[in-house]
Structures are given as structure tokens and as C-alpha cells.
Amino acid sequence: MAPPQPCRVLRCCSCRLFQAHQVKKSVKWTCKACGEKQSFLRAYGEGSGADCRRHVQKLNLLQGQVSELPLRSLEETVSAGEEENVGHQQRQGAEGSWEGAMESCPAGYSHIL
């Protein structure tokens, strides 16, 4: 039996989503949600894959609660003037709730949850 791969919790600088990534030698990593390539800055947690996934869920939940108000008011302001733009509305839907963001993620994202 191989020892479990160590993982750490990283946060995307673009979409601000927390996610678990296996520890690698490279400092470069790619966001599983938005695909943003970035350098490793800090780990929000380290441990086994299961530990990190639990931590990620907690952090994203907390962040969702904290950012609920500004996100909601922003959505109201934007959607008032841009209702015809369907493509833009879909993006807003994903940003409006963390649940929506996860559902609209590429397939590769689901396996870390």
C-alpha cells in the first residue's frame, strides 16, 4: 500500500475558490474551477486528501456566508441594466451562489468534493 498523497488547501486568486491540490514540486498550479494559472502563495491547510476536502468545503461555506451581501447587491445592480444579455446572465448565476458555481464547473472539479 502506497502512503496517501499529501494535499494542501489552496485559494484561487481569480475566483477565490478554495480547493485541495496534491503537493507537487512545482509552485505553479491551475484553478480547478476557472482554470486560472498561478503561483503557490500560501496553503490554508495541509493533510490527507480527505482532510483537505473537508477543510475546503468548510472554507468555501464560510466564504459564501461572508460574501453573500456584497455579491447579492452587485447582482441586482448589474442585472437591472443587462437583462437581454443571456450569456452574461449565466455567468452571474454562477457567481451569485457557491452552489451554482460548483454545478457549472468543468467535470474535473467534481472529484475533489
**In the bound complex, what is the minimum distance in angstroms from residue 19's beta carbon to Zn ion?**
8
User: Closest CB to Zn ion among 48 and 64?
Assistant: 64
Pick from 9, 107, 106, 15: which is nearest to 57 by CA? 9
**In the bound complex, what is the minimum distance in angstroms from residue 31's beta carbon to Zn ion?**
3
**In the bound complex, what is the minimum distance in angstroms from residue 14's beta carbon to Zn ion?**
4
Look-up of cell digits 478554495: 18
Query: Does residue number 95 form part of the binding site for Zn ion (CB under 5 A)?
Result: no
Query: Does residue number 36 form part of the binding site for Zn ion (CB under 5 A)?
Result: yes
Tell me if residue 21 falls in helix, strand or coil.
Answer: strand
Q: Which amino acid is at 92?
A: Q
Query: Does residue number 12 form part of the binding site for Zn ion (CB under 5 A)?
Result: yes
Query: Does residue number 65 form part of the binding site for Zn ion (CB under 5 A)?
Result: no
The whole-angstrom separation of Cα 104 and Cα 101 is 5
Binding test (CB under 5 A) with Zn ion, winner from 31, 56, 94, 105: 31
Question: Quick one: which segment of 28-36, 50-58, 70-78, 97-105 binds Zn ion (CB under 5 A)?
Answer: 28-36
The whole-angstrom separation of Cα 76 and Cα 58 is 27
CA dist 31 to 18, 20, 38, Å? 9, 10, 8
Q: Which residues bind Zn ion (CB under 5 A)?
A: 12, 14-15, 31, 33-34, 36
